[in-house]
Amino acid sequence: MAVSKVFLKQNRKKRLEQGHPWVYPSEIETLEGDPQGGDIIHIVNHAGHFLAQGFYNPRSQLIIRVVTYSEVEVDETLFFDKIEQAWQRRQWLLPKITSCRIVHGEADFLPGLIVDKYEDVLVVQILSLGMEVRRRWIFEALKRIFNPRGIYERSDVSVRRLEGLEERAGFVEEPFDTHVTLRENGLSILVDVADGQKTGYFFDQRENRAALKPLMTGWGTRRGIQVQADGQPIDKKGKEIRNPFWDGAEVLDCFSHTGSFMLHACLYGAKKVTCLDVSEKAIEMAKGNALLNGFLHRTEFIAANAFDFLREQVKDKKTWDIVILDPPAFAKNRQALQGAIRGYKEINLQGMKLVRNGGILVTASCSYHLSAALFLTMLQEAARDAHKVLRLIEFRRAGLDHPVLLGSEETDYLKFAIYEVFDR
């Protein structure tokens, strides 16, 4: 059967040629053939020159999603090769990595496919019709490349409906224990891939968590603690200090989920970390992870709504050396953006107020509708209203296993900033 073909309009913006991996219905001039949803279709320009091949789905606003810029046959072998290349890229950039994102959708030229590796377990999320009809190819390739203990599907996300797909979650084949202890930056982190948020863990902040390392010490000396010639630290009154973490930071980790930031803070020498999450289950998980890594005595856990908690702490004049804010995506779509910005501003404003003069605010947003520029504007407004001056230490994005395609801002969603906070 001949492959169908779409001719794109002559006067469209050349988005596809600039690296954007989707075609919208408004860009199409004519359609040749009788393609079914999920079929491969050739994309050509107005003059008939071949541009790419992609998945066709007439029910979706993303009517075509680019799979390849070559004219090769899109078959099971091509899928195998693409997944293998994606894994090789991770092994190259992150040597010895055992848990990470293996396939990051469009940015790995596998539109609508997410694969995360949790040690010997794989978690798959299928978000496009083109991938859905090729499920078998995906699972066969994953079994051949990784020989996993098990594969779990987490396609229980509402965006699937935009592709005309039902939500779905469960074991791909035989059931297995879905608890996995993954290794990250030398820590052990227990997650449940069947139950956690997204696919169970957020690998995209791996390098950002590691960036906390230099921040966690140097606080005791700032508070006037001195080290005597024999190595004994003493406070301003000359009293001996017994706590081995006397120089560590006091940290508030908001939206802690698995507690991954808390674990890194402790690993890098924090004196005390307060973990906050609205979900009791998340708090239990974070506590379990503190125990697993031997950090329980340096941590405390609070199940509460961050919006209320932060405001109360400000009212009670509580302060920390470091405040970490890693909220969920408040803006799930463009319409929700204004409300989301108000939410981000509120937690950042209160969070800044809780930082001691000269302390640190670590703040993130994983909502791609909130661009980096809008994120910075939001922070400026929060700083203005909180009477603070912020000085940047580092601005970071997602980790190396979450590639970003130039020309596709949708793949560049994570903002992560570390600021010193000064009173004004």
- Residues forming contacts to ligand SAH in the complex (CB under 6 A) are 197, 202, 205, 255-258, 260-261, 277-279, 282, 305-307, 326-328
Q: How far is the CB of 217 from ligand SAH (least distance, A)?
A: 21
Q: Is there a contact between 92 and 401 (Cβ–Cβ < 8 Å)?
A: no
Q: How far is the CB of 278 from ligand SAH (least distance, A)?
A: 4
Q: Which is nearer to ligand SAH, 140 or 195 (CB)?
A: 195
Q: Which is nearer to ligand SAH, 87 or 330 (CB)?
A: 330
- Phi, psi (deg, nearest 5) at residue 121: -120, 145
Q: What residue type is 273 in one-letter code?
A: V
CA distance 4 to 256: 49
Q: Which is nearer to ligand SAH, 261 or 295 (CB)?
A: 261
Q: How far is the CB of 4 from ligand SAH (least distance, A)?
A: 41
Q: Which is nearer to ligand SAH, 25 or 328 (CB)?
A: 328
Q: Is there a contact between 295 and 287 (Cβ–Cβ < 8 Å)?
A: no
DSSP 2: P
Q: Which is nearer to ligand SAH, 365 or 408 (CB)?
A: 365
**Beta strand 320-325 pairing with 355-365:** parallel
Q: How far is the CB of 25 from ligand SAH (least distance, A)?
A: 34
Which residues have a Cβ under 8 Å from the Cβ of 70 and sit 6 or more positions away? 53
Q: How far is the CB of 202 from ligand SAH (least distance, A)?
A: 5
Q: What residue type is 63 in one-letter code?
A: I
Strands in 105-249 per DSSP E = 113-118, 121-126, 150-155, 168-171, 179-184, 187-192, 226-227, 233-234
Q: Which is nearer to ligand SAH, 58 or 328 (CB)?
A: 328
Q: How many Cβ atoms from other residues are within 10 Å of residue 300's Cβ?
A: 14
CA distance 278 to 303: 5
End-to-end CA distance of the chain: 70
CA distance 328 to 197: 10
Residues acting as catalytic residues? 366
Q: Which is nearer to ligand SAH, 112 or 327 (CB)?
A: 327
Q: How far is the CB of 302 from ligand SAH (least distance, A)?
A: 9
Q: DSSP for 280-348?
A: HHHHHHHHHHHHHTT-GGGEEEEES-HHHHHHHHHHTT--EEEEEE----S-SSGGGHHHHHHHHHHHH
Q: How far is the CB of 255 from ligand SAH (least distance, A)?
A: 4
